[in-house]
Amino acid sequence: MTEAPQLYLMTPAGAQASALGPLLTEVMDRFPVACLRIRSGAEEDELGRLADLAREIAHARDVAVVIEDHIRLVQRHGLDGVHLTDGARGVRAARKELGADAIVGAYCGASRHDAMNAGEAGADYVSFGPVGETALGRGEQAPFELFQWWSDMIELPVVAEGALSRDLIQKFSTACDFVAVGSEIWGEDDPTAALASIWD
C-alpha cells in the first residue's frame, strides 16, 4: 500500500486513434501515469490502431499498457497485459495464454468474493467500482469500507474507478493503490485541465 495512489489512465470507450493521439500525449506529458488502459468498444481494426498508438506514446514514457478483454491484441500489438471486465472468470486462462510476465487485472464491481477469486487465480491487481454515482457496470457502488478492508487485509493492489470526483479521490486515496480516471476527463473540452481539477 503506497502513501498516495498512482494515476491509472483509461482511454475513452470507442476512441478513434487519430483523434486521441494528441490528447493522450498532452495528458501523459503533464501527469505521471502508472498504467494506461485501452477501453474496448471500437471495432477490432480500430482497437489495433489504438493499441499501436497507445503503446508508442506510453512506452516512450515508461508506462505499461493493458487492453480490455482482447487477449489476442495484447500479443499482436506488443502490449503489457489485459484488463478483464468480467471479474475472476477469465483470469486463469489469460495468465496461461499470456505468461507469467504479463499484467492481468480484473474488474470485480463491488464483490470482495470475486476479487479474492481473481487474486487466487493469478491476477496482478483488482479494481472495484463505481465509487461514484453512475449507471456504468451493474450500478451497485463499491463502498469505501470494501477498499479499506482490502487494503488492510490483502496485499494485492487495488484500483478505484467509476465516476470519480476530486472529493472521492481524496477520500479513497487512503485505501487504494491506483485511481483510474477516464470518462471523467475525456468528455471535457480540455482533458488535461479537467484532470488537473480533480487530481492536482
pLDDT attached to residue 139: 66
Domain segments of the chain: what residues? 6-199
Structure-derived torsion over alpha carbons of residues 34, 194, 158, 54, reported in degrees to the nearest 10: -40
pLDDT attached to residue 133: 87
* SS3 annotation, the chain: CCCCCEEEEECCCCCCHHHHHHHHHHHHHHCCEEEEEECCCCCHHHHHHHHHHHHHHHHCCCCEEEEECCHHHHHHCCCCEEEECCCCCCHHHHHHHHCCCCEEEEECCCCHHHHHHHHHHCCCEEEECCCCCCCCCCCCCCCHHHHHHHHHHCCCCEEEECCCCHHHHHHHCCCCCEEEECHHHHCCCCHHHHHHHHHC
pLDDT attached to residue 42: 86
Q: Domain spanning 6-199: which superfamily?
A: Aldolase class I (3.20.20.70)
pLDDT attached to residue 2: 46
CB count in 10 Å sphere of residue 32: 10
Kindly state the greatest CA–CA separation across the chain.
43
pLDDT attached to residue 138: 61
Cα 95 vs. chain centroid, distance in angstroms? 18
User: What are the grid coordinates assigned to 160, written together?
Assistant: 478505484
pLDDT attached to residue 137: 55
Q: Dihedral sign, CA of 129, 134, 138, 139? A: positive
Cis peptide before 22 (omega within 30 of 0): no
Mean pLDDT in runs of 10 for the chain (200 residues)? 83 90 97 97 92 98 98 97 96 97 97 97 97 74 97 97 96 97 95 95
pLDDT attached to residue 188: 94
Ramachandran angles phi, psi of 147, nearest 5°: -65, -40
The C-alpha atoms of residue 16 and residue 128 are separated, in whole angstroms, by 27
pLDDT attached to residue 1: 40
Reference 37, options 3, 84, 94; nearest CA is 84
